[in-house]
Homo-oligomer: A and B are copies of this chain.
Amino acid sequence: MSGLRNKQAGLLLDEPLLFEHGAPGRQGADVATEPGSPADYLPRELLREPIEGFPEVSEPEVLRHFLRLSQWNFGTATTFYPLGSCTMKYNPLTNEVVARLPGFANLHPLAPDETAQGALELCWALEAMLAEISGMDAISLQPAAGAHGELTGMKMVRAYHQDRGGARTTVLIPASAHGTNPASAALAGYKVQTVEGNQLGLVEAAAVQRAMTDQVAALMITNPNTLGLFEREIAQVAEAVHARGGLVYFDGANLNALLGVAKPGKVGADVLQFNLHKTFSTPHGGGGPGAGPIGVREHLMPYLPGPRLARHGDGLRWSAMPERSIGRVRSFHGNVGMLVRAYAYILALGGDGCTQATRMAVLAANYLRVKLAETYQLAQSAICMHEAVFTDKTLEPYGIKTLDVAKRLLDYGTYAPTIYFPLVVPGAMMIEPTESESLETLDAFIASMEAIAREARETPDLLHSAPTTTPIGRLDEARAARRPVLRWSPKPPE
């Protein structure tokens, strides 16, 4: 069908780059006019020419362009998206509506506090909710994402130690930790020392005790860990850290496994970050924006980023920067638009709903664990929390790797699990169903995984060449990285 455009598939239509659209003189927006020219107000040497190659497209073309692009995406709203460690749960649509209420959307961050009481009350209430949920004593809503929360937390750890005779040099991190943990520790000026886990990948108090010195500023621990297991010795581990004056940084990205079950604040955490775009359902947005509030125990409160919210009489106000605060980690007050969504979500669930979300997320993960264990090898066999990790071991004889399974899943109309993470598990497939997916969807996924295992044995080439139903095949990432083309250019990029 040579006549057809290359990407046409089903009802999906090929779509060139924005810059390959349009014609000179076209405009997608009508703008008010003012007389004169810029040179009447600014010295010529400060002015530029019209930007060569900038779009010249009509409004209908722009809408059609992005509409077509959107259809080239899978999302949780269109299909099962079992991306482990990312908690791809349902994003309630009311939250999209309330975040767009003019009262929030049109509020300027420097509006006087008296004229922003609705937003301040919301932030205040959300801080209280997160404190209650996590068992921490105080919350800052400022960080923009999980990693930003980690950095903020580690800066506080540093400030805490500096007030106590020295910042210390080292941070302990389990090998199974997410990459942002070591990166954040390093960004805070710390050396990273790896703690090996036991055969289940769990951190043992003994190991931590051995590693602890008075130069260890903190242990960063993810609980449940990235293998989906609860760190059973967390209390003893925390004790070991505290015994040498260290602090426990608790990576809260996996909090969806703990709501109403156990509180980090009660298991030794000194500081943690929340990933509102995971546990509290603010949309992932194709890569953000999220929000990464942090929670701390009392002894770290003085170091929280500022300004802080405080009640004065019948109203709320932003305080001045607290004297021992680490300062700001961004402009203004945080990703308030996302905070509104998270607040609406917690309101809708309530305490019981939060607990139910965790219970169902863990039940669904274990259902997949048991069902899939018949065809795939588990990284470990214990009961899991919100996610289960498998390997490609059983497929090795047929020359099939985790990547092939992931790509073939796309043909089955499912997004792929997180693959090759955690690094401690060779050929890892990390599967997190969340509480949002129906039993029928889980069963369909199991059937797909089993069909793929069958295909691996019977028609392995099918998997090597997968995906085949997608409008574009596997892309040559190696070559893309060797000679990177990172933008379109009017003239060929140099």
Contacts and interface: CB of A to CB of B under 8 A. Distances in A.
Of A61, A348, A468, most B-chain CB atoms within 10 Å: A61
B11 A471 contact: yes
Interface in A35-70: 58-61, 63-64, 67-68
A3 B451 contact: yes
Interface in A444-480: 448, 451-452, 454-455, 462, 468-471
What band does the interface of chain A fall in when counting residues whose beta carbon is under 8 Å from B?
Answer: 35 or more
Contacts of A469: 1, 4, 8-10
Nearest to A61: B438
Contact of A9 (B9, B30, B59, B61): B9
B78 A64 contact: yes
A67 B77 contact: yes
Contacts of A22: 438
Contacts of A448: 3
A12 interface: yes
A344 to B, nearest CB: 13
B10 A9 contact: yes
For the residues of A in contact with B, the DSSP-based class is loop
Contacts of A9: 9-11, 469
A1 B12 CA distance: 20
A98 to B, nearest CB: 14
Nearest to A408: B3
Contacts of A318: none
A90 interface: yes
A90 B11 contact: no
Of A30, A74, A90, most B-chain CB atoms within 10 Å: A90
Contact of A4 (B8, B72, B92, B412): B412
Given A78-B13, A470-B11, A60 B411 contact: no
A68 B78 contact: yes
Closest 10 CB pairs of A and B: A9-B10, A3-B451, A10-B10, A60-B90, A10-B12, A13-B413, A60-B436, A10-B471, A8-B413, A67-B77
Interface of A: 1, 3-5, 8-14, 21-23, 26, 30, 58-61, 63-64, 67-68, 71-74, 77-79, 90, 92-93, 348, 411-413, 436-440, 448, 451-452, 454-455, 462, 468-471
7 contacts: A1-B468, A9-B11, A10-B470, A11-B78, A23-B438, A59-B90, A63-B77
